Structure 1
Amino acid sequence: MRYRLDIVTPTVLDAVRFAGGWVYDRVTAGWDVTVLIGNNDDVRPLEILGADTADLESVLQSWELRPHPQTVAVAGDLFGRDERVRAGVLGALAQGATEVTLWGEHRPSELDSSVDVVEHRLSAAARAFKAHALAAAGVPGESVARSEIFCCGMMASVAADLVPAS
């Protein structure tokens, strides 16, 4: 059985900008990564990173039928504005069997006691592929940092790629 990561995002650019290197590194480590997108963006940037894509609305309507991933990553602002996403995140945190990761500038204060700040250090290949994905998403030349910062619940990660941020 392969590990699964589901990324829940409002836009392709959001996923690439905040988690693109992590997506690439998990795909190359053998994970099945699916990005659930909340609009009709061009998915080519995510294909560059090796991720599969699906329509967020369709998946939310049939969430219980979907195999549960080992990790769910969610845009923090989507957590704040979509009750279904919020309920899914809180349920996963309460259950404790799924690693829950959030990214972005919006960190929900209600999760302060449930999540810790972590980082993923991008491989050189992840940085290169993320730069190409950003260019394909319409932001060529945007700098790619050596790490991506997340808030993560369940520190017993199923992969050693998320470490406490200093």
Structure 2
Amino acid sequence: MTDFGPGPALCRAALALALARTDPEAALEAAQPEAPGPGRARDEWADAWLRYARAEVLRWEGDVSTARTLVASALRTHLAYGSVVGALCAAELLADAAALSGDPVLAARLHGAADASRSGTGTLDPYVEPVRRRCEAALAAGLTAERRAQAYAEGASAGLRGLMS
């Protein structure tokens, strides 16, 4: 093992993310938690991406409850490490899982917080766009436009850290 470059856990996370939407079974296999070997420190940031990848696959397979737990944990880690991209990806997937779990207000708040955190043009990354589009459709069916706008504003005001505390 070298003293530079990505470690094994981050390489597995990258593989799991790459496979999540094309080969879910292989993605779950790559994303299984692994205890660090002797002399190796646990890579919490990579573990957060592994939890995110598992949550992505489990959400698509219908295990929304487990996906929600995993992605909430990943979001907390990404926020703790200051990983903006990780936090935004996790927030979008958590919003989707919340909407599917019957909590459209939390989903809308998460969207508002994510939008407030997004820098630049405010456009969505192509990776999270399908998740957002699917969730927005669920929110439109579950909340009035006024309540949805109010929840977005509440989320934007609270921020991702505020919503996750």
Q: Which has a greater percent of helix?
A: 2
Larger radius of gyration: 2
TM-score, normalising length from structure 2? 0.32
Q: Relative contact order (alpha carbons < 8 A, sep ≥ 6): 1 or 2 greater? A: 1
TM-score, normalising length from structure 1? 0.31
